[in-house]
Amino acid sequence: MHPIGAAVEFLPEGCIFRLTQNCIPGGIRVSTFAVAPEGIANRTNESVAREARGGLTATPKTLSPWLFYDQVGSHLFEEITELPEYYLTRTERGIFAAHAEEILREAAIAHGPHPPGKLTLIELGAGTATKTGILLAEAVRQQGDIVYQPVDVSETALAEATENILTNIPGVTVRCQVADYTREGLPLDRLRNTRTLALYIGSSIGNFTPAGAKEVLRNLRAQLLPGDKLLLGTDLAPNGNGGHKTEAILLAAYDDAAGTTAAFNLNVLTRLNRDLGANFDTENFRHKVIWSPSESRIEMHLESLVAQRVTIPANGIGGALKVRFAAGETIHTENSYKFTPATVEALLASADFSATKSWQDPRHLFAVTLATAV
């Protein structure tokens, strides 16, 4: 069952939500629509097969993070964001709650005559947009109304975001867009005669290598005009900022006591079993988290506990694949880079954004930086 129930109709064209007025409490007027690149939400088994073959025959072995997000994985990820150890989500939300007014006022300051008009909010990887509501409500307070354009690979997440926002924040028009900004050029449907505030939060930028992060921001910048803004959320590196944040705090966020992040990581193997008929025994692997000071990143791995051989049956991509693991060998599944104010500024500058102002929580765990497209 999709999360909106009767309020939304999924049309055959793809990500087009038609929200019927009388289904929404308060009778909010809605116009919605969206662009629908075909079938991004569910990767075909063929792309899973290609990814598995490429990653598991490489040295060292890797699997791409997008494999995490099947139905079970997406659910586990939502759980991660609520874990006591996973401070990122609630800390960023706290920064928004404490500073929304100032963030929006700064973002609304025009730099030069163009582009004119009200702010439009565009969010990359919006998901269910639970944190964004704080900023949207403040934007409505400041400018009367706002158009919000969430972009995500998950149609169901966008449907949930749309419903939450339309139900709870009058004055917002939602235009959702199903797209994968990491794999295609970002097809931003930029509104004319408005200024854009792009949101890229949750430290999602940290899941790219430095080169990849620069490319994502350059792609975004290419869709913006000088004077448009970007609000970037970044998790901070430990041992800086007067030593508030320790490596232990950081490691626990990715290796929680309840084992949710471990389950999230191991679910990749379960997915390969399901989608490709592989025979991974998840009991023979463990979730392993490493802090790499030299790369300033958290690494997530799946470590083989024994010497073993796993088979992926023949498929459209190639013949049967036998994958050998030595005891202690790992599959590298994810990186989460951690920043300092200086590395955030340098990254922004490399994509032609100039950092304007930055906010941190009182413990200096996380930073939210406003930048202007130059």
- Site of interaction with ligand TRP (CB under 6 A): 65, 80, 88, 202-204, 206-207, 254, 261, 334, 336
- Least Å distance, CB 139 to ligand TRP, is 24
Q: Which is nearer to ligand TRP, 88 or 198 (CB)?
A: 88
- Least Å distance, CB 163 to ligand TRP, is 23
- 347-350 contact pairs (CB < 8 A, 24+): 347/205, 347/210, 347/213, 347/214, 347/217, 348/217, 348/230, 348/232, 350/214, 350/217, 350/218
The residue at minimum Cβ distance from ligand TRP is 336
Name, in order, each residue with C-beta under 8 angstroms of 42's C-beta and a sequence gap of 6 or more: none
Name, in order, each residue with C-beta under 8 angstroms of 124's C-beta and a sequence gap of 6 or more: 151, 181, 186, 198, 199, 200, 204, 220
Task: Give me the sign of the Cα torsion angle 236, 239, 245, 248.
Answer: positive
Q: Which is nearer to ligand TRP, 339 or 359 (CB)?
A: 339
Q: Which is nearer to ligand TRP, 148 or 254 (CB)?
A: 254
- Least Å distance, CB 116 to ligand TRP, is 34
Contact 276, 106 (CB under 8 A): no
Q: Which is nearer to ligand TRP, 94 or 206 (CB)?
A: 206
- Least Å distance, CB 251 to ligand TRP, is 12
- Least Å distance, CB 360 to ligand TRP, is 17
Q: Which is nearer to ligand TRP, 125 or 133 (CB)?
A: 125
Contact 150, 166 (CB under 8 A): no
Distance CA 279, CA 269 (A): 9
Q: Which is nearer to ligand TRP, 41 or 80 (CB)?
A: 80
- Least Å distance, CB 204 to ligand TRP, is 5
Q: Which is nearer to ligand TRP, 17 or 366 (CB)?
A: 366
26: nearest Cα among 2, 1, 11, 7: 7
- Least Å distance, CB 113 to ligand TRP, is 36
Phi-psi region of 234 (alpha: psi -120 to 50; beta: other; left: phi over 0): beta
